[in-house]
Amino acid sequence: MTAVLALKLTLVPLLIYLVTLAGRRWGPAVAGWLSAFPIVAGPILLTLALEQGQPFAASAAEGTLLSVLAILVFCVVYAWASGRWRVAGAMLLALSAWGLAVAVLQTLRLPPGVAFVLVWCALLLAVRLFPRAAPAASGVRRNDLPWRMLAAGALVLLVTAGAASMGPRLSGFFAMFPVMGSVLVGFAHAGSGRASAVALLRGMVCGFFGFSVFCVTLAMQLRHGGLGSAFALALGCALVVHVAARRMLAGPAIPPASVARG
């Protein structure tokens, strides 16, 4: 087994595991916030850089930055749809909206700086678009952790395996496919009700401020610096913004007792 393949098969599921444990302890809003840190897209972009080269990964990072807009569509649509439909219906509508958003965004060719400003404007708007949901009753214990880890690992393998045929831009978009959000939100909604799902989605949106900083920093640094320094700088900048955004924008959290256990 190569080092790159080992990275694909172990790192991302391990990070999913740690985020899940944190969510069980501190609630869905914290789980959503942590899940928005580049714990899935980061390893995907790293493996793309190792396998396809830094210019390819830089272009993919630009696509990943713009795809934050599609994830925001997913989050807001699911939050509102969950008030009318159960998990399957709300998820189908949200994923369909994500796919439509990706199709539209694929037609855009924006400089990274313009895309970054657009994403931040959309984030500031999105945090105000979430519905208010009544607090949910305590969730039922569910063993969803293996499914979360399996889905994340499968996404990494799928995107990196198809990177050469998809090209850097589409690879970047699929690095942001809402696999983690779908699993986390779906089980939160099913186990603890709509309020937990909405809290998790809002937490994700707060986390995307730092994520967008990671993407734009990485895209620039991969074209002008070394691989290790590019990722170190991107992660460092993202962490600072990630924590600051949580402090400034996080809404009231759902108590951890109401989180679906699994």
The share of the chain scoring above pLDDT 70, in percent, equals: 82
Give the burial string for 78-87 (b: 16+ CB within 10 Å, else e). bbbbbeeeeb
Instruction: Quote the pLDDT of residue 138.
Output: 47
The alpha carbon torsion through 89, 166, 106, 59 (nearest 10 deg) reads: 120
| Tens-place pLDDT, residues 187-220 | 888 877 888 889 889 999 999 999 999 999 999 9
Would you say residue 248 has pLDDT above 50? yes
> Could you tell me if 173 and 105 are in contact, meaning their C-beta atoms sit under 8 angstroms apart?
yes
As a whole number of angstroms, the distance between CA 34 and CA 28 comes to: 10
pLDDT mean across residues, the chain:
82
Closest-CA residue to 241 (of 221, 215, 220, 222): 215
Buried b (16+ CB within 10 A) or exposed e, 94-105: bbebbeebbeeb
Tokens of 27: 């609630």
Q: How many CA atoms lie within 13 A of 69 on its CB side?
A: 20
185, 41 in Cβ contact below 8 A? no
Place of tokens 């997913």: 74
Top pLDDT among 36 and 191 is at 36
User: Closest Cα to residue 60, out of 83, 41, 40, 81?
Assistant: 41
Render pLDDT for 103-148 as a digit per residue (tens, 0 to 9): 898 888 888 889 999 999 999 999 899 987 665 444 444 566 787 7
Taking the mean position of all CA atoms in its chain, how far away is CA 1? 28
pTM of the model: 0.81
- Calculate mean pLDDT across residues 29-34: 86
If you average pLDDT over each of 140-154, 178-192, 218-232, which comes out highest?
A: 218-232
